[in-house]
């Protein structure tokens, strides 16, 4: 009788040991695999850091050189006040500037009217520079007022131009952000037959990015782009190449950004009264769906002397209305995951996405979908 009872107990014990042993083996194998992956990731990160350190050392030792692509011109030596190592790696601003920076994907939501926050923030942005006469004056005003801005620069201005190269270095060192406004800004080449030439346009973006990295050092990269004429102009003309353009931007993790208000300094080369500039800006702010977030378009090209004159008054306007001054940093990589190529937000980004369970081929799958309810446009 005891033997009959003992045999099942032994069988159960053996089975239990076998299961435990299998699970222990699987857990060990999983732990070993996880450790292997972590070790590989650490080694990769270390190699990348060493590569970055070497690139930075070479950059700081260089007293002037031709760009790797000689078409981009000669890169002039930097002065002792320029500290390229203080730029956040892979970013378009200093490490210290990240405390008052907002990712471009969130700014795109503000422009689309799809942003969830209500805090009062203003982004001063300047296009078409740098210029030797106006940009330094603008930088002086920003510094005196204790605020910062985002500069969308034209790449060709920097090409073999020592003064302009030093100005864009100062833009960064003063705590501002730097974006891409194409290399030449020539409409007929960017938009032949009033349609985006996608490969040519992307090459223009990349040339400017490469030249900025040559000038500002290996830590620098900008992923924010402002189209000449604005993304909204392409939407207005129902550009048939917009979806392909969005796909190209998404692939490179670049965000196209427009604005929510402007001073009106773009439309004329005539002298503009300061009160007129303020009136135009104030009207735009109060006509937008959410006046708490303002992305203000201005210009620092050589002809825009009235913008320089009006800037202190513009800054005081926002200070008196309780706005915090922010700059635009690169979009977060994860913001491109599941992003639709077809948007109606005046950007390749800007739509807030939500997860939704749908049935495909008889199986339930979770995917990201847009819940955009802003005031955008619709494709044909």
Residue 30 in any domain: the answer is no
Name, in order, each residue with C-beta under 8 angstroms of 242's C-beta and a sequence gap of 6 or more: 196, 234, 235, 379
Residue 74 in any domain: the answer is no
Q: What is the pTM of this model?
A: 0.84
The pLDDT assigned to 376 comes to 43
Residue in this structure with the two tokens 């990731």, named with its chain if needed: 41
C-alpha to C-alpha distance for 353 and 161, rounded to whole angstroms: 43
DSSP letter for each residue of 139-196: HHHHHHHT---EEEE-HHHHTT-HHHHHHHHHHHHTT-EEEE--SS--HHHHSGGGS-
The pLDDT assigned to 373 comes to 44
Q: What is the pLDDT of residues 329-356, one digit of tens each?
A: 999 999 999 899 998 899 999 876 554 4
Residue 219 in any domain: the answer is yes
Residue 319 in any domain: the answer is yes
Tokens of 225: 């782009």
User: Which helix (H) or strand (E) is 202 found in, with range?
Assistant: helix 198-216
Residue in this structure with the two tokens 């210009």, named with its chain if needed: 299
The pLDDT assigned to 47 comes to 81
Number of domains in the chain: 1
User: Residue 304 class from Cβ within 10 Å (0-12 exposed, 13-18 middle, 19+ buried)?
Assistant: buried
* End-to-end alpha carbon distance in the chain: 86
Residue 8: C-alpha distances to residues 4, 19, 194, 339 (Å): 7, 16, 84, 59
Residue 278 in any domain: the answer is yes
Residue 8 in any domain: the answer is no
Query: Where residue 286 sits, what CATH number does that domain have?
Result: 3.20.20.370
C-alpha to C-alpha distance for 272 and 237, rounded to whole angstroms: 29
Residue 252 in any domain: the answer is yes
Parent domain of 159: 84-334
Compute mean pLDDT per 10 residues along the chain, 380 residues long, and list them: 56 58 64 77 78 80 85 92 97 98 97 91 98 98 98 97 97 98 98 98 98 97 98 96 97 98 86 91 94 97 95 98 98 94 91 58 55 40
Residue 320 in any domain: the answer is yes
């Amino acid at each position: 009788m005891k033997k009959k009872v003992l045999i099942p107990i032994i069988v159960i014990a053996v089975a239990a040991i076998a299961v435990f042993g299998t699970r222990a083996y699987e857990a060990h194998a999983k732990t070993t695999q996880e450790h292997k992956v972590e070790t590989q990731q650490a080694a990769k990160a270390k190699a990348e850091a060493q590569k970055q350190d070497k690139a930075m050392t070479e950059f700081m030792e260089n007293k002037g050189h031709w760009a790797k692509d000689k078409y981009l011109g000669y890169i002039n030596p930097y002065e002792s006040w320029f500290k390229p190592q203080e730029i956040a790696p892979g970013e378009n601003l200093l490490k210290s500037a990240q405390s008052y920076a907002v990712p471009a994907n969130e700014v795109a939501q503000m422009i689309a009217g799809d942003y969830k926050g209500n805090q009062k923030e203003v982004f001063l942005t300047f296009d078409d520079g740098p210029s030797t006469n106006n940009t330094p004056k603008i930088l002086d005003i920003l510094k005196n007022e204790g605020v910062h801005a985002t500069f969308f620069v034209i790449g060709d201005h920097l090409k073999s131009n020592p003064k302009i190269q030093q100005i864009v270095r100062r833009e960064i060192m003063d705590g501002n952000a730097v974006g891409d406004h194409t290399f030449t800004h020539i409409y007929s080449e960017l938009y032949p037959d009033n349609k985006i030439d996608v490969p040519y346009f992307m090459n223009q973006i990349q040339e400017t990015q490469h030249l900025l990295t040559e000038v500002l050092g290996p830590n620098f990269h900008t992923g924010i782009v402002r189209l000449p004429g604005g993304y909204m102009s392409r939407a207005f003309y129902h550009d048939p190449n917009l979806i392909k353009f969005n796909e190209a931007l998404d692939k490179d993790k670049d965000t196209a950004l427009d604005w929510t208000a402007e001073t009106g300094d773009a439309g004329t080369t005539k002298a503009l009264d300061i009160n007129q500039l303020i009136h135009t800006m104030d009207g735009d702010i109060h006509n937008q769906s959410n006046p708490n977030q303002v992305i203000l378009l201005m210009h620092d090209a050589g002809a825009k002397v009235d913008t320089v004159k009006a800037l202190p008054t513009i800054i005081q306007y926002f200070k008196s209305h309780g706005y915090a001054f922010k700059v635009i940093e690169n979009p977060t990589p994860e913001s491109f995951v599941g992003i639709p190529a077809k948007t109606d937000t005046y950007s390749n980004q800007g739509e807030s996405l939500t997860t939704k369970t749908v049935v495909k081929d008889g199986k339930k799958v979770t995917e990201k979908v847009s819940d955009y309810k802003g005031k955008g446009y619709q494709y044909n």
